[in-house]
Amino acid sequence: MHKKDDISDGELVTQYVQGNQQALAILVKRFHKTFCNHAYWIVNDADIAKDIAQDSWKLIIDKIQTLQNPARFKSWALRIVHRKAIDYTRNSARQQQHHQAYKIIKSIDNLPLSDTSQQKQQLKKAITELSVARQQVVRLFYVDELSLQEISKLLNISVGTAKSRLYHAREQLKKNLKK
């Protein structure tokens, strides 16, 4: 048997697929730190990066039989880690947006009744000044609580277009409400 450092990644993948659990242990030892570092580079939190690496290993183990070229294990596995880290970042940003919107709504609800109705009127007026396309996205995102992907499917537009409309609507609302 070769020394474990002499065995190529491709050989280890092939051995694991054929039932050699030791091959997986060598792959984990060889790449786990790399996966953690790659995830950390994206999320900037060591604990979350470790969780992402761990979740990635679960998916890698489940899907390793589908890897057509075992010699490309490292790039294939790093893509999985990368996508999981990006997904985490997107979900985290979405949660922050919802939390921010919730705080705004709560702050409006906590205002005295006369101020609330006046602010609601101002907000409604500012929203009506948006284009119809932007009004749709704002309503679907904040009122109906749909994700950008769901909005894009519903309106038959790309996710990027939905995101852009929401961003520009927010910017226009900020300007209109400061008047």
Q: Which residues of 133-158 are buried (b: 16+ CB within 10 A; e: fewer)?
A: ebebbbebbbeeebebeebbeebebe
| CATH number corresponding to 111-178 | 1.10.10.10
Tell me, what's the pLDDT at 89? 86
Tell me, what's the pLDDT at 104? 56
Question: Residue 42's closest CA among 83, 9, 1, 5?
Answer: 83
Q: Is-same-fold flag (9-89; 111-178)?
A: no
Q: Give me the CATH topology for the region 9-89.
A: Rna Polymerase Sigma Factor; Chain: A (1.10.1740)
Tell me, what's the pLDDT at 3? 53
CB atoms within 10 A of CB 53: 24
Per-residue pLDDT 10s for the chain (179 aa) are: 445 568 999 999 999 999 999 999 999 999 999 999 999 998 889 999 999 999 999 999 999 999 999 999 998 999 999 999 989 988 887 777 666 666 555 555 555 545 567 777 888 788 888 888 888 888 878 877 788 998 888 878 899 999 999 999 999 988 888 87
Tell me, what's the pLDDT at 70? 94
Tell me, what's the pLDDT at 1? 43
Tell me, what's the pLDDT at 11? 96
Domain residue extents for the chain: 9-89, 111-178
Tell me, what's the pLDDT at 32? 96
